[in-house]
Amino acid sequence: MIRSLRRRFLVIAMLSLAGTLFLLCLAINLGYRLVSTHRADTVIGTLHQNAGSFPSPEEVPPDPGAHSGFLLTQETPFETRYFTVHLSSDGTQMDVNADHIAALDPDMVADRVEEILDSGKASGYLGYYRYGVFEEEDGITIIGLDCFLQLQAVGSVLRITVLASLACIAIVFVLLVLLSRRAVRPFAENLEKQRQFVTDASHELKTPLAIISANTGLLEATLGDNRWLASTQAQITRLDRLIHHLIELARTEEALPDEELEPVDLSQLAEDAVQDFQPLAEAAGKTLDAAIQPGLVIRGSGGNLARLCGLLLDNSVKYCDPGGHIRLALSRRGRGVQLTLSNPCASLDPSVIPKLFDRFYRADNSRARDSGGCGIGLSTARAIVQRHRGKLTARGMDGGIQFTAFFPL
């Protein structure tokens, strides 16, 4: 269980970190892209306001100053590569100015203008050129800005943030692996103290129970049949059974020692359990059948796995509707073995299914008391499955319930 807790701690921590870094990278890169695009649009707007050129040097202060939303310096006109095109209203005349860009000649600019007009957009990117289309009284003005360096910077920021995030994830993962044992140590210690308390208390209760049982037996021998003594003896038997189950639950929640691991024929265990419970099911007016794939072997504790089959079948026989049909199935599923047990139970509220594995929880107290149940059978079953690195789940069916135990191979 501690190993499972460490694994869950690592998974949750790493998923949280990865999600946070993903959102951070997304915000940084989207923000940088938006800022770059806004700056390009501001430059294009400045060029349009000044008839396709920048303000004269006399209008720009020597120190950087804000102009139309971005820092404009006297060097800006020499750093910016752009072209301008003016189309007449009837589309018969095109004036192309490619003096401020070396990569394109007027014919190449004209080709790009056709693509821009075909797109039908007022602004956008064409390759690594940012363009703006402005409708005027005498025609249309198109300004294209070379944004190669800005887009290259956007790509560099993306690569840097991704690599930095991956490096951060790797470093944090190593640290968490090294520190996770210390992080779960308080929980492990509390759990161990709880198990020890349950075991010690159960053993301490056994002696007075044995004395009370012996005294009750002597009173029965002396006084004869007495319903009060019979009731006391029944409660002693019930309490003794509860103590036995508590000790068993505490043991099954401990890690499975390596010396107890052995190849176990789960198919044979399931068949034996079905044969043992068929008479009980028939006596209760219920039917029990099985579909068991032969030769399914897993590594584990044969005693624990036999107990698991018995607990699940006992639960189904007790709580199956009168005249109901109980079905056990065992088969290979992917990289593991799956054991399922289903039975009708019309009185079961689907909302309580997640609570069925809680200790001392009973969906129907009166039926559990009449059948001798103490509310920890399914808790023990889940502990056995988890002890074998598996998972036990329950889900509602049409008027019934199905338990599924999966054991990885």
Beta-strand pair 82-88/139-146: antiparallel
Q: Which residues, 6 or more positions from 287, have their beta carbon under 8 angstroms from its beta carbon?
A: 281, 324, 325, 326
SS3 of 294, please? coil
- Beta carbons within 10 angstroms of residue 245's beta carbon: 20
Lowest-pLDDT choice from 52-56, 178-182, 244-248: 244-248
Amino acid at 355: K
Tell me the pLDDT band of 68, cut-offs 50, 70 and 90.
Answer: very low
Provide DSSP, 186-200. Answer: HHHHHHHHHHHHHHH
C-alpha–C-alpha distance, residues 65 and 43, integer Å: 14
Tell me the pLDDT band of 251, cut-offs 50, 70 and 90.
Answer: low
Identify the residue whose tokens are 């938006």: 34
pLDDT, position 337:
94
φ/ψ region of 389 (left if φ > 0, alpha if ψ in -120 to 50, else beta) reads: left
Identify the residue whose tokens are 């301490």: 204
pLDDT, position 69:
46
Angstrom distances, CA of residue 17 to CA of 7, 131, 197, 231: 15, 39, 38, 59
**What DSSP state is assigned to residue 56?**
P
C-alpha–C-alpha distance, residues 281 and 320, integer Å: 9
Mean pLDDT of 171-190: 82
Tell me the pLDDT band of 67, cut-offs 50, 70 and 90.
Answer: very low
Q: What angle do CA 91, 94, 97 make, to 5 degrees?
A: 155
C-alpha–C-alpha distance, residues 206 and 239, integer Å: 9
The tokens describing 40, both together, are 């390009």
Instruction: Give span(s): CATH 3.30.565.10, the chain.
Output: 259-408
C-alpha–C-alpha distance, residues 157 and 25, integer Å: 9
pLDDT, position 361:
66
The tokens describing 144, both together, are 């294209």
C-alpha–C-alpha distance, residues 374 and 394, integer Å: 19
pLDDT, position 392:
92
Alpha helices in 224-261, H assignment, sequence order:
227-252
Name the CA radius of gyration of the chain, rounded. Answer: 39
Question: Could you read off the pLDDT of 85-140 as tens digits, one per residue?
Answer: 988 887 677 888 888 888 888 888 888 888 888 888 999 999 889 999 998 888 89
SS3 of 348, please? coil
pLDDT, position 235:
82
Question: Could you read off the pLDDT of 350-395 as tens digits, one per residue?
Answer: 888 888 887 766 665 545 455 555 567 788 888 889 888 899 999 8
Provide DSSP, 254-321. Answer: SPPPGGG-EEEEHHHHHHHHHHHHHHHHHHTT-EEEEEE-TT-EEEE-HHHHHHHHHHHHHHHHHHSP
CATH topology of domain 259-408: Heat Shock Protein 90 (3.30.565)
40 exposure class (CB count in 10 Å sphere: 0-12, 13-18, 19+): buried
Mean pLDDT of 333-346: 91
- Say if CB 341 and CB 330 are below 8 A apart: no
Residue from 373, 361, 367, 377 nearest 347 by CA: 367
pLDDT at residue 258 is higher than 70: no
pLDDT, position 8:
82
Question: Could you read off the pLDDT of 270-315 as tens digits, one per residue?
Answer: 999 999 999 999 988 999 999 999 999 999 888 889 989 998 998 8
- Mean pLDDT score across all residues of the chain: 83
Provide DSSP, 351-388. Answer: GGGGGTTSTT--SSHHHHHHTT--S-HHHHHHHHHHHT
C-alpha–C-alpha distance, residues 107 and 114, integer Å: 11
Q: Choose between 267 and 2: higher pLDDT.
A: 267
pLDDT at residue 60 is higher than 80: no
pTM of the model: 0.57
Tell me the pLDDT band of 220, cut-offs 50, 70 and 90.
Answer: confident
- Beta carbons within 10 angstroms of residue 325's beta carbon: 15
pLDDT, position 374:
58
Q: Which residues, 6 or more positions from 409, have their beta carbon under 8 angstroms from its beta carbon?
A: 298, 335, 336, 337
C-alpha–C-alpha distance, residues 34 and 41, integer Å: 10
Identify the residue whose tokens are 């102009």: 67
Mean pLDDT of 46-64: 71
C-alpha–C-alpha distance, residues 18 and 193, integer Å: 35
